[in-house]
Amino acid sequence: MKHYVSLRQLRLMQMMAILPTTLVFLPGQIFAQSRSGAFYAALLAAVLAYAINIAVIKSAHGASPFRLFKISWGKLGIWAYSAYTLCLLLGIISIWNELFTFLQASVLPRTPPWGVGLLIWAVTAVVAGGDISGLARMTDLLTIGSVILGLVVLLPLLGYIRMDNFVPWTPSSLGSIWQGSLLPVTFLGESVVGIAFNDSVREHDPRRRQRALLQGTCISAAVLVGLVALIWGILGSSLAGEENFPILEAIRDIRLSPFLSRFDIVFVPLWLALIEMKLALWFYIVVRATKRIFRWGTLTTWTAILGAVTLAPSSFAFPSVASRVEYLKQTWMTIAFPILIILVLSSGLMGHLRKGHHE
């Protein structure tokens, strides 16, 4: 029996593909690049990412990229399909690094990389080994937990906002605003991940599926803009820009350390679970995509193979947290994300041309 994902769950999965990076990683990067223009950089990133996601989702025509590649491109589609999977593998290594960086910087600074890697992989293999409906239910629980805890932690911070920290925009900061928006654009543009779940909600109208995915993107972008504005208003752009990663360390400088420290026992595991779920969602997609390409082996076999392939570089190729962060930025922003966008847009164009030819 086919297990379907509801539109609400698809929306939450789309948010899950974006929010962990939005909450933990991106605000510090935006402040480091844009300083006084951080809020405008986040706003620009939200607008650009939403425009990109509209183009990507429209190109999918309500079907997953997997089907479009094979239907539209024939034998050439196999190569496009392989490139798509390779980009997802690079994305998985980047998500490994998100987890590694967060764990090594905040939780397990003295744990050897191989130990952290085995811990992450063990949890990921279990979660990704289930079906899509199980992943959707876990996404529901994590979303509810993150909203509740987020309100508990963030609401007291509103009283620390100072209006004089909101410096006005000036034309001289336009270059830094653009630089600060580039990385968030790519992470907010992860609709290519959400589209891959459309096979599981195929009984719904394509327009409703598209609207659900765009709503998830819009909510995630709004969270990023709101979080940047909150930190900017409390710390000021210059002080926040000095705290590159993790942004949680910057928040703890707000004279609320005793209050916030009480929530570490819940806060840190929750954000780890968010990123872990994001990794599991990507693995779920890549394992099934690879199995379709080679038409060999079981899902468990491919989960083990692809896990080992991505675990090795993530565990041993980076000597420091800084090198992991740099790889995370460069691989996703300059390689994986642009190729994924080009492939999906090309796939939609080919499908449109093929449809027009038959008509």
Tell me which CATH homologous superfamily contains domain 7-350. Answer: Amino acid/polyamine transporter I (1.20.1740.10)
pTM score, whole prediction:
0.85
Q: What is the pLDDT of residues 318-335, one digit of tens each?
A: 777 778 878 888 888 888
Spans of all domains in the chain: 7-350
Provide the pLDDT for residue 358.
47
Q: What is the pLDDT of residue 50?
A: 93
List per-block mean pLDDT (blocks of 10 residues) for the chain, which spans 359 residues: 76 86 82 84 93 87 71 76 85 84 75 78 80 83 82 76 77 80 90 79 82 90 90 76 56 56 69 85 83 80 84 78 80 87 82 57
The tens digit of pLDDT for each residue in 125-153 reads 888 777 788 888 888 888 888 888 778 77
Residue with tokens 């939780």: 107
